[in-house]
């Protein structure tokens, strides 16, 4: 993006710039508030692109500032001297909104007192957020009521800039001079309301980076733009933070230092910045478009597609019906691979494989042959299990559909790829080709080439891999432990004296404690203090060569110290502060700013230094040397995370916020030392994929695992890259927005992650990819088991170990018994011996009063969950608003706890003051207790806006809930 900046003089010194809809229609109108107290339209002057102040529209008194447009009242709200707020309506009339009573108390209208208005931001729903010296206040622009937002104070200093985040509902951007934060504006819980997104409370400079690694000089203005980006006026520079929290400088020196008042997007498409010296800075050629609110609600198209896929109309199969009896015309087709029989929905086979689509089509040969099953006698059942799981994921459009291909073991890669080519599965061939190419070695490449030539595997039948990537995974938060003190680092070392390994926590206060189990419930607590290292010590890494934990010591000089097995602390390097200085030994060596440490286990500690790429610390003698050619290859980014490659010696993993690289550490040849493996140097995102097709938003921590896998903390998500370079999201939204400082595998086998807010997130069950044995058991039980209860030809339902027909309304759903049992406690009980279905002799399970569309979404979720796909819950995100209630009610009836929780989130988020009483009555009638609690809390918060027309009916239908609600209302 080739940006250009110019400045134009204005006749009067501006104090504010805001854009509003033009009264009477036409292009938007830019207004300038001047130091003399006038409000003028900013008008274009001539063809040269100049600007001038038009006639005065209103007079507001000198030093009025911080204008913000409020869509709810179609007025511009602004601060005026004397701790008051006024508004300019569409008729250019000025009226007082609140203040100017002295003090800083909440109230309504003139009775309100504000300390000092520093910034304003409208949320578009009737709330104007006000930053004053005491924190954040909410101004109801209709009633004039002002209320303080508890827990919204800036931990250091005060908020100087505000902006509404249009992507994340109920969230503000708030900035001090050196820090950009997310502030949660909903809910009464003040704990954790403020999260640091970028910058540091104390340190000040101009360094691009990701999250807390970024440094700002002095933030003067914020402006949200499209794509979740945030423009930042930082001293004299224009910066941009992307949706993942990565900050990059767009233009240096384009603004006057400490001079910017406001930024706005003008109707010309230029970015305008009003400056105190009486000039207007204009930035052009940028893709600056106004941000929009979150995407519209999903339509019913996804539901119709699921219905046609999982339960087609009976007439679609002609005389064969929908009962699954027989082969020709049946909704279920048995595919025999070796000694295994796979009963599969015909629609899934046709959607996932061009070979099956042709074979099963009218005239394709299968129905005409009268065969009872499709035979692939020469194929590997394990290979087909992975491909069939992939077919289900892609046909259901689950966002983690490709994860079964990422888990194909090395010995199965060739047969699985060959079978995918035979079945004309272009996306699978492309994904597996990436893995085969990545697995090649000098010793195997000739054999690999011969095999590729023999099987015709050149570019693959389908070209590039199909992209059902991880955009819709539900947020699944692991247990989070709040420790006695805020944590800044986590490391595991061998326990001195023997026994299980010892996990150590470095605290913000400067102490080192063992992380100890707390009771049988699986909690954790901090043990006795082992050592004191000074506040702000961080980035601990265990060095096997010295049996010591190295860490970044406290202080601005960033020395490195060590903790030995006796818990004694000693200095290794520093504290000489020499930014970019020559290499040296021990106390004479210094670092500018240490971002990460990683030990290679052979006496080298690799240090990511903001001033010099990578440095090697010899942990035995203390010598520090620069690694030539190890700098970041693009822009002003720095390495934010390091990890030793668990498979390849002399290789490091190094990450910026958006790029994951393999770094060769041996030899003196700097050329080609850094190789981009996954992600992009520039583009941010959260899409899963292979190699450079994957996208990261803000990588903050890396952790190698056995088998060549690498865990990646990417902003709020936990992701995994396998040995072939395929990136999969394991848990989405499991960490706070400000990410993770460090990860470690604890002695318990759990993954521990120290988060940006100082807590400990725990992830259990380390089976990160679906196993081949699991897929075989799920999709094709051993033939002996299958044939013991009636054969393997898919005829009939009752008593068969794999196939169950579920009739919902006028639709018949043919599902694997194992899938139903894994996805629903109701089906697990019903289908168990003695559960009632087999004893009744019924041919199908009937849910006659349920909604077929609701069941389609839930069954799709069951398949994804039972197959272990990372996007298993994405069908619940596509449930249209009118189906939320019946789907949630059916999920509760089927005892699908995870689905109930996910749908509860959506129902609670969809509540409005007009609907909340009706929503409460419905939730109470269907026993959704968590939703009842959420809606009750919402009604209390919005009590002044709740429509009371339905209160009488609500009281009659739900007298107990009505009584609870009235008791919860404060008496004000």
Question: Consecutive 10-residue runs of the chain (972 residues): their mean pLDDT?
Answer: 76 89 85 91 75 90 86 89 83 85 63 77 87 85 86 87 78 91 81 82 80 85 80 90 74 82 85 85 72 40 42 38 40 80 79 83 76 83 83 65 68 88 81 77 82 67 27 42 85 88 91 84 83 86 90 72 91 63 64 84 84 80 85 74 78 91 82 84 82 88 78 89 74 82 86 88 57 35 37 37 76 80 85 76 80 83 68 63 89 87 82 85 87 84 75 77 73 56
Decide: pTM greater than 0.75.
Answer: no
pLDDT of residue 289: 60
- The rounded distance, in Å, linking the Cα atoms of 460 and 405 is 15
pLDDT of residue 299: 39
497 alpha-carbon distance from chain centroid: 42
DSSP state of 768: -
- By the 8 A CB rule, do 253 and 237 touch? yes
DSSP state of 371: -
Please give the angle made by the CA atoms of 482, 193 and 296, to the nearest 5 degrees: 115
pLDDT of residue 611: 62
- By the 8 A CB rule, do 614 and 606 touch? yes
pLDDT of residue 460: 34
- The rounded distance, in Å, linking the Cα atoms of 970 and 972 is 6
Q: Using CA of residue 874, residue 880, residue 886, residue 889, what is the dihedral sign?
A: positive
- By the 8 A CB rule, do 715 and 198 touch? no
Give per-residue burial for 102-141: e unless 16+ CB within 10 Å, then b. eebeebeeeebbbbebbbbbbbeebbbbbbbeebbbbbbb
Please give the torsion angle defined by the CA atoms of residues 771, 772, 773 and 775, in that order, rounded to the nearest 10 degrees.
Answer: 90
- The rounded distance, in Å, linking the Cα atoms of 889 and 179 is 44
pLDDT of residue 46: 63
- By the 8 A CB rule, do 317 and 308 touch? no
pLDDT of residue 493: 92
DSSP state of 732: B
pLDDT of residue 109: 62
Q: At what angle do helices 413-422 and 426-439 cross, to 10 degrees?
A: 150
Q: Is 382 helix (H, G, I), strand (E, B) or coil?
A: helix
Q: What is the gyration radius of the CA atoms in the chain, in angstroms? A: 31
| Dihedrals phi, psi of 820, to nearest 5 degrees | -60, -40
């Amino acid at each position: 993006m080739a940006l250009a900046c110019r400045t134009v003089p204005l006749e009067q010194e501006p104090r504010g710039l805001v854009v509003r809809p033009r009264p009477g229609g036409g292009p938007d109108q830019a207004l300038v508030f001047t130091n003399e107290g006038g409000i003028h339209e900013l008008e274009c002057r001539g063809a040269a692109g100049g600007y001038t102040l038009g006639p005065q529209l209103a007079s507001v008194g000198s030093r009025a500032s911080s204008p913000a447009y409020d869509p709810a009242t179609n007025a511009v709200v602004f601060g005026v001297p004397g701790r008051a707020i006024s508004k300019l309506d569409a008729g250019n009339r000025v009226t007082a909104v609140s203040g100017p009573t002295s003090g800083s108390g909440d109230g309504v209208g003139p009775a309100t007192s504000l300390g000092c208005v520093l910034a304003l931001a409208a949320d578009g729903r009737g709330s104007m957020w006000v930053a004053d010296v005491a924190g954040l206040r909410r101004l109801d622009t209709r009633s004039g009521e002002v209320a303080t937002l508890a827990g919204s104070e800036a931990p250091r200093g005060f908020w100087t800039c505000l902006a509404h985040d249009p992507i994340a509902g109920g969230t503000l951007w708030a900035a001090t001079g050196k820090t950009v934060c997310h502030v949660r504006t909903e809910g009464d819980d003040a704990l954790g309301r403020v999260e640091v997104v970028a910058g540091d409370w104390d340190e000040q400079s101009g360094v691009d980076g990701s999250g807390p690694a970024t440094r700002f000089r002095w933030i003067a203005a914020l402006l949200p733009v499209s794509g979740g980006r945030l423009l930042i006026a930082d001293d004299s520079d224009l910066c941009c933070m992307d949706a993942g929290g990565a900050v990059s400088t767009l233009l240096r020196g384009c603004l006057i230092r400490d001079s910017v008042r406001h930024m706005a997007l003008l109707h010309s498409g230029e970015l305008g910045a009003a400056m105190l010296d009486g000039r207007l800075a204009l930035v052009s050629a940028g893709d600056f478009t106004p941000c929009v609110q979150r995407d519209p609600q999903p339509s019913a198209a996804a539901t119709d597609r699921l219905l046609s896929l999982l339960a087609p109309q009976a007439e679609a199969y002609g005389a064969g019906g929908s009962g699954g009896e027989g082969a020709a015309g049946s909704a279920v087709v048995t595919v025999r691979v070796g000694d295994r029989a796979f009963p599969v929905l015909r629609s899934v086979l046709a959607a996932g494989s061009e070979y099956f689509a042709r074979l099963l089509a009218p005239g394709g040969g299968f129905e005409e042959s009268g065969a009872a099953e499709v035979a692939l006698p020469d194929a590997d059942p394990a290979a087909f299990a992975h491909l069939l799981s992939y077919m289900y994921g892609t046909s259901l459009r689950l966002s983690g559909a490709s994860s079964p291909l990422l888990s194909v073991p090395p010995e199965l890669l060739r047969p699985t790829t060959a079978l995918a080519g035979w079945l004309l599965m272009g996306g699978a061939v492309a994904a597996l080709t990436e893995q085969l190419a990545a697995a090649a070695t000098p010793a195997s490449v000739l054999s690999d080439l011969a095999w590729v030539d023999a099987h015709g595997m050149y570019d693959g039948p389908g070209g590039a891999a199909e992209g059902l990537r991880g955009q819709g995974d539900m947020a699944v938060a692991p247990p989070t432990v709040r420790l006695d003190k805020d944590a800044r680092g986590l490391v595991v070392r061998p326990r001195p004296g023997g026994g299980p390994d010892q996990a150590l926590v470095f605290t913000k206060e400067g102490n080192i404690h063992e992380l100890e189990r707390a009771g049988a419930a699986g909690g954790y607590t901090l043990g006795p203090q082992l050592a004191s290292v000074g506040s702000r010590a961080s980035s601990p890494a265990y060095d096997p060569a010295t049996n010591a934990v190295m860490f970044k010591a406290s202080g601005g000089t960033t020395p490195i110290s060590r903790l030995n097995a006796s818990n004694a602390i000693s200095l290794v390097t520093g504290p000489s502060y020499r930014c970019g200085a020559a290499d040296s030994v021990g106390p004479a060596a210094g670092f500018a700013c240490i971002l990460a440490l990683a030990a290679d286990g052979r006496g080298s500690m690799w240090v990511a230094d903001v001033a010099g790429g990578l440095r090697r610390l010899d942990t035995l003698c203390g010598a520090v040397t620069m690694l030539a050619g190890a700098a970041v290859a693009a822009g002003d980014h720095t390495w934010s995370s390091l990890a030793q490659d668990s498979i390849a010696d002399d290789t490091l993993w190094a990450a910026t916020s958006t790029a994951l690289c393999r770094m060769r550490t041996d030899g003196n040849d700097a050329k080609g030392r850094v190789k981009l493996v996954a992600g992009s140097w520039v583009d941010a995102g959260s899409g899963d994929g292979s190699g450079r097709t994957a996208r990261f938003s803000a990588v903050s921590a890396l952790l190698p695992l056995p088998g060549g896998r690498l865990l990646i903390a990417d902003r709020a998500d936990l992701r995994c890259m396998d040995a072939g370079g395929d990136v999969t999201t394991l848990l989405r939204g499991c960490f706070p927005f400000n990410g993770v400082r460090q990860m470690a595998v604890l002695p318990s086998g759990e993954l521990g992650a120290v988060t940006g807010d100082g807590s400990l997130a725990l992830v259990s069950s380390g089976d990160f990819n679906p196993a081949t044995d699991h897929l075989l058991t799920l999709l094709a039980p051993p033939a002996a088991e299958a044939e013991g209860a009636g054969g393997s030809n898919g005829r009939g339902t009752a008593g068969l170990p794999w196939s169950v027909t579920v009739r919902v309304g006028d639709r018949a759903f043919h599902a694997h018994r194992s899938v139903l049992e894994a996805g629903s406690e109701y089906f697990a009980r019903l289908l168990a011996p003695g559960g009632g279905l087999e004893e009744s002799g019924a041919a199908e399970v009937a849910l006659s009063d349920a909604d077929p569309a609701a069941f389609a979404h839930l069954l799709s979720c069951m398949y994804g969950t039972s197959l272990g796909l990372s996007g298993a819950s994405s069908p619940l995100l596509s449930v249209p608003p009118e189906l939320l209630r019946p789907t949630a009610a059916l999920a509760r009836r089927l005892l699908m706890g995870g689905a109930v929780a996910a749908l509860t989130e959506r129902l609670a988020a969809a509540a409005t003051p007009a609907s909340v009483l009706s929503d409460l009555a419905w939730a109470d009638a269907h026993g959704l207790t968590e939703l009842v609690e959420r809606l009750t809390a919402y009604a209390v918060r919005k009590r002044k806006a709740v429509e009371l027309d339905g209160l009488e009916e609500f009281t009659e239908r739900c007298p107990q809930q009505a009584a609870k609600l009235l008791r919860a209302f404060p008496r004000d």
